[in-house]
A and B are shown apart, each in its own frame.
Chain A
Amino acid sequence: MRHDFLDRYSRQDSPVHRLSAEAKLVCVLAVIVLTVAAPLSALPYFAGLACVLATVALAAKIPMGYLGMRLLWMEPFVLGVGLLTLFQPGGWTIFTGIVVKSTLSLVTMVLLANTTPFAEILRVMKRARMPGLLVTTLALMYRYLFVLVDEAERMQRARLCRTFERRRWIGWKTLATVAGQLFVRSTERAERIYAAMLARGWK
């Protein structure tokens, strides 16, 4: 599996990438809070933010096509919930406001993910004194995520090669077996990881 479909450009070199992760994280959170808090009529703010985001994307050498693809990928979720607001008086105002706000926030988060490796964000969390158990779990999760997704894909491929049953119920049962087997393998992997951690002096 290609591992970099999430944060493909996070390991590039550019002025934006070289900024410290703390600074970027604080900026992103501030921008999102401001965007969420801004009244719907604050058009200059939204327009200004859009310009700033475009500049950052250019400076970070993130292709506009990729940015657009990520947005297209996520926008259905926004529109889906957004549609609900239309079924009430004054719906369009709320709808437009929500779509503008969430799209801008979305671009901000995509830019963060593509300029800051997740390991850096974890390091910031650790320095910010987040509970150790949480950071350890996140770090292990990020480390083994791709291993397990790979394993799931491998098992699914193997299943596709061997089963020819077209009935949906059987399909569900075999898929669930794949998931169950994946959990069994995960627990075995966790035991091996623990042994390896102990061997390297973890406490």
Chain B
Amino acid sequence: MHIPDGFLDLPTAATTGALAVTGVGAALWQAKRSLPQRKVPLLGVTAAFVFAAQMLNFPVAAGTSGHLVGGVLAAVLLGPAPAVIVMTCVLVLQCFLFQDGGASALGANIFNMGIIGVIAGYVVYAATRRLAGGLHGVLLGAAFAGWCSTVLAAICCAGELALSGRVKWSLALPAMGGVHMLIGLGEGIITALVLAAVAKARPELLETTAETPNTGQVVTLGLIAALGLAVFVSPFASEWPDGLEKVAGKLGFEHFATDKPLLPAPMTDYGIAGVEGAWVTPLAGIIGTLAAFALAWLLARMLTPKKAA
């Protein structure tokens, strides 16, 4: 989901950059106030850990493999503000050392994966945790949050691509959203598995950091995440089908447009056969979310030892 250079136009890159600076600034301010001195090295080492954990390849099928992104994992282990800082550092280093994600898109990548992914993931985690107690609640919340955070970050990414006039929103949303609904399953499963392993080896690491978050903080963070999402999604709510045609007209390359696409689209919309109308995409989204939640619940049940449940 790392956006390379050239995929965002300058206004979008500048907007996301400003949002990322604000978000990371707020996280730094929050961390400075509440993070004890002795935890400072923990941030750097956890960032290195996330980076190293991303190198462990989980075999998926037919020679492909997936790896952890780690935003929700960091948020559960350290709390939201430190997790934002950790993920920001991971993304900065990936940009400068690996050239993974472009320099002009660094703001967008930090915003999607480091801020929306972490904050929205943490809010989902905190809300879901209330449904079940103990380790079961932690694993359920983390697995579901891992999925939600991946999908939400992908939706943000789709919004940015569409705002830049590179890919139509009606194409970007189903493609990015659909693919990441699958990738998110892996993220959710790995996050829960790693947390279960940590809980087995050093349960006190989870007890201290994963205590129930207070409601006010969660509601505030939820509002922030919703606002952030709205920035990139709401421009399309009024004109669902097309942002690009307008842009194409403005830039003057609309005469290139033909009625027939050059290649047939792999999925015309991610609709369900026989169901028509504007509510197909949201419906598919809702069904996907419910399925992911059910999976998270099953997984958490499987991973919780009987006596701890």
Contact = CB atoms under 8 A, between A and B. Distances in A.
A and B: bona fide binding partners = yes
Contact of A180 (B58, B201, B253): B201
A5 to B, nearest CB: 10
Interface residues of A, number: 80
Which of A110, A137, A177 has most B Cβ within 10 Å? Answer: A137
Interface stretch (B42-50, B221-229, B281-289): B42-50
A134 B88 contact: yes
B263 A106 contact: no
A9 to B, nearest CB: 13
A149 B266 contact: no
Which of B6, B168, B253 has most A Cβ within 10 Å? Answer: B6
A78 interface: yes
Interface of B, helix, strand, loop or mixed by DSSP? helix
A104 to B, nearest CB: 8
A142 B98 CA distance: 13
B48 A140 contact: yes
Which of A100, A142, A147 has most B Cβ within 10 Å? Answer: A142
Contact of B201 (A141, A181, A197): A181
- Interface size class of chain B, counting residues whose CB lies under 8 Å from the partner chain: 35 or more
Contact of B253 (A93, A148, A184): A93
B239 interface: no
B175 interface: yes
Interface string B192-234: 0111111011100100000000000000000000000000000
A164 interface: no
A55 interface: no
A105 B103 CA distance: 8
B256 A109 contact: no
A177 B55 CA distance: 14
B145 interface: no
Contacts of A121: 96
B171 to A, nearest CB: 6
A182 B52 contact: yes
Interface string A164-203: 0000100111011111111110110111011001000000
Interface stretch (B24-32, B116-124, B127-135): B24-32
Given A102-B6, A183-B77, A77 B51 contact: no
Given A102-B5, A172-B189, A86 B262 contact: yes
A88 B260 CA distance: 8
A44 interface: no
A69 interface: no
Given A133-B31, A183-B77, A187-B45, A138 B100 contact: no
B92 interface: yes
Contacts of B99: 70, 74, 106, 109-110, 113
A22 interface: no
25 contacts: A6-B97, A6-B98, A36-B8, A36-B104, A88-B168, A90-B256, A97-B6, A98-B166, A100-B6, A105-B4, A113-B97, A118-B93, A131-B28, A133-B28, A137-B44, A143-B44, A145-B51, A171-B59, A173-B193, A175-B58, A179-B68, A182-B53, A189-B45, A190-B46, A194-B40
Given A109-B5, A138-B47, 17 more contacts: A74-B100, A90-B248, A90-B254, A91-B263, A109-B96, A131-B25, A133-B85, A137-B40, A143-B44, A152-B52, A179-B193, A180-B194, A180-B196, A182-B53, A184-B202, A190-B45, A197-B41
